[in-house]
């Protein structure tokens, strides 16, 4: 897509500058609008011109007709200080299956500092090739530096599919790359399959408040890109006998061109919640009746060495921070044990926890929808049931070591 201004028609009214979301993309030169290299070809200015002086050429560019030049399934390996996010291995395991269906290879993209050993891990989870970009400039995730190097790599190696974890960084990163490459991106996928006839990635995600599942295709652009929520795909057993090829990618990024600097990292206390990785989660809902009810939830979570979750109703009411929220607009979790206390089981909450191994629901309404997904249901007042559970678990666990490190965090 290209954007041009017809100089003869332009009257210098500057309405296009007001309409353009990208500062500096249009400048006035001799009272005529001029498109600069900051233009992203978004087309937002076109309608603003009273003289129809802006011409946006939407002809699909030639790359779109050469989708066959793109091969391979790539997975971005998200890491912090060398520790890889579980979701990266989940999607690497899934990427392996997709690549096998397509008869192609899996590439793991590892960007950071001191990350060489991660290639071996990536091979164990299914990668054939590890593209490793190692430099101190990549120590911390920063949108500019990571996007520049990833876009260069995609343009060089031309993968047909690129997958990211739907984490904070993954969402930021994938969106930026998709815009730069003028390709599509499906966020928060819960399933990925292959249409073998058309060689297309079928990207499925909940839509319209979770009431339908939409399957999205990207037929004419490459790569096909998606982010995948943590815990929705199964991580394969690592096979450390697997070998692969390491491609060390050099980056010529100038640190001065990166617009953000990491000055200091302040640990968020609520990180101790660690909901996504917890084996046991005890969650509270509106049935608690008020913020003080979370003290009881916290006690049960601490007793079991679990983490504390919450429904959106309680987060919206300001009873507990959003970092505890489980569900469609919160975290997706799949613990071994999920105890839902005073939660009705709205579809948006279920979207975030229904793949848990065992679900115990405590609700005084026997008709509550949560019982439809519960392994065990307790019909009763949580203020009567939960204290009994705490006492019984304490007795049963007496003398046994329970890790409370991940437990609850401060929620007040
Ligand atoms: P309620 O639905 O009010 O249920 C309270 C339950 O507590 C009832 O079943 C009641 O019987 C029971 N109860 C009351 N008192 C007691 C007691 N003393 N003992 C035992 N049981 C008791 N919700 C999420 O949770 N996560 C999300 O990510 C999320 N995202 C959303 C996204 C969108 C676009 C929309 C539209 C909604 C979203 N929601 C989400 C909100 C969701 O639709 C529900 O409104 C919410 O989950 C309800 O929370 P709740 O179950 O705590 O409250
Ligand atoms: Fe600005 Fe978009 Fe118009 Fe380019 S196409 S000048 S970025 S509004
Ligand atoms: Fe020129 Fe049209 Fe921009 Fe006005 S809106 S300055 S006429 S291009």
Q: What is the DSSP letter of 91?
A: H
Nearest ligand, measured from the Cα of 19: 2
> Tens-digit pLDDT profile for the chain (412 aa)?
689 999 999 999 999 999 988 889 999 999 999 999 888 787 889 989 999 999 987 655 544 557 888 999 999 999 999 999 999 999 999 999 999 999 999 999 999 999 989 999 999 999 999 999 999 999 999 999 999 999 999 999 999 999 999 998 999 999 999 999 999 999 999 999 999 999 999 999 988 766 788 999 999 999 999 999 888 898 999 999 999 999 999 988 888 888 999 998 877 655 445 788 889 999 999 999 999 999 999 999 999 999 999 999 999 999 999 989 999 889 889 899 999 999 999 999 998 999 899 999 999 999 999 999 999 999 999 999 999 999 999 999 887 766 554 444 433 2
In ligand 2, the atom with minimum distance to the C-alpha of 38 is 7
Nearest ligand, measured from the Cα of 15: 3
Confidence at residue 355, expressed as pLDDT on a 0 to 100 scale: 87
Q: What separation in Å is there between the alpha carbon of 93 and the centre of ligand 3?
A: 51
Nearest ligand, measured from the Cα of 367: 1
Kindly state if the Cβ of 20 falls inside 6 Å of ligand 2: yes
Nearest CA to ligand 3 atom 2: 49
Confidence at residue 221, expressed as pLDDT on a 0 to 100 scale: 92
Q: What separation in Å is there between the alpha carbon of 189 and the centre of ligand 1?
A: 23
Residues 275 and 306: their CA atoms lie apart, in Å, by 9
Q: What separation in Å is there between the alpha carbon of 285 and the centre of ligand 1?
A: 6
In ligand 2, the atom with minimum distance to the C-alpha of 3 is 5
Kindly state if the Cβ of 284 falls inside 6 Å of ligand 1: no
In ligand 3, the atom with minimum distance to the C-alpha of 6 is 8
Q: Which residue has tokens 């504390």?
A: 308
127, 109 Cβ separation under 8 angstroms? no
Q: Ligand 3: which of 5, 34, 36 to mutate, most ligand atoms within 8 Å of CB?
A: 5
Whole-prediction pTM: 0.64
Confidence at residue 43, expressed as pLDDT on a 0 to 100 scale: 83
Nearest CA to ligand 3 atom 4: 13
Q: Which residue has tokens 């304490």?
A: 394
Nearest CA to ligand 3 atom 1: 10
Q: Ligand 3: which of 28, 47, 49 to mutate, most ligand atoms within 8 Å of CB?
A: 49
Nearest CA to ligand 3 atom 5: 49
Nearest CA to ligand 1 atom 28: 327
Kindly state if the Cβ of 5 falls inside 6 Å of ligand 2: no
Q: What separation in Å is there between the alpha carbon of 62 and the centre of ligand 1?
A: 50
Give the count of alpha carbons within 13 A of 251, CB side only: 25
Kindly state if the Cβ of 230 falls inside 6 Å of ligand 1: no
């Amino acid at each position: 897509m290209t954007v041009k201004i017809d100089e003869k028609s332009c009257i210098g009214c500057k309405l296009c500058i007001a309409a353009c979301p990208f500062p500096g993309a249009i400048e006035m030169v001799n009272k005529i609008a001029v498109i600069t290299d900051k233009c992203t070809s978004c087309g937002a200015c076109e309608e603003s011109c009273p003289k129809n002086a802006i011409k946006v050429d939407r002809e699909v560019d030639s790359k779109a007709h050469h989708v066959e030049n793109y091969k391979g399934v790539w997975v971005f390996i998200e890491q912090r200080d060398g520790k890889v996010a579980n979701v990266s291995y989940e999607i690497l395991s899934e990427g392996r299956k997709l690549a096998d269906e397509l008869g192609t290879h899996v590439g793991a993209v590892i960007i950071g500092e001191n990350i060489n050993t991660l290639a071996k891990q990536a091979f164990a989870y299914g990668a054939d090739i590890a593209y490793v970009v190692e430099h101190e400039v990549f120590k911390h995730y920063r949108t500019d530096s990571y996007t520049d190097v990833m876009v260069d790599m995609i343009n060089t190696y031309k993968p047909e599919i690129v997958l990211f974890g739907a984490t904070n960084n993954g969402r930021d990163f994938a969106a930026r790359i998709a815009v730069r490459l003028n390709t599509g991106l499906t966020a928060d996928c819960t399933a990925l399959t292959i249409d073998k006839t058309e060689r297309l990635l079928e990207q499925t995600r909940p839509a319209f408040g979770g009431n339908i599942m939409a399957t999205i295709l990207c037929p004419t652009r490459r790569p096909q890109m998606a982010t995948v929520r943590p815990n929705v795909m199964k991580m394969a057993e690592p096979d450390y006998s697997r070998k692969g090829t390491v491609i060390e990618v050099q980056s010529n990024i100038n640190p001065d061109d990166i617009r953000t600097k990491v000055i200091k990292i302040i640990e968020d206390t609520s990180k101790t919640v660690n909901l996504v990785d917890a084996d046991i989660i005890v969650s509270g809902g509106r049935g608690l009746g008020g913020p003080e009810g979370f003290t009881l939830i916290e006690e049960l979570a601490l007793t079991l060495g679990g983490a504390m979750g919450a429904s959106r109703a309680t987060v919206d009411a300001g009873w507990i921070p959003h970092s505890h929220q489980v569900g469609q607009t919160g975290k997706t979790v799949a613990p071994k044990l999920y105890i839902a206390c005073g939660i009705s089981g709205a579809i948006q909450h279920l979207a975030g926890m229904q793949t848990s191994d065992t679900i115990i629901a405590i609700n005084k309404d026997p008709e509550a929808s949560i019982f439809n997904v519960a392994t065990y249901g307790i019909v009763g007042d949580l203020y009567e049931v939960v204290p009994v559970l705490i006492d019984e678990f304490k007795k049963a666990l007496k003398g046994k070591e329970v890790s409370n490190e991940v437990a609850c965090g401060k929620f007040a």
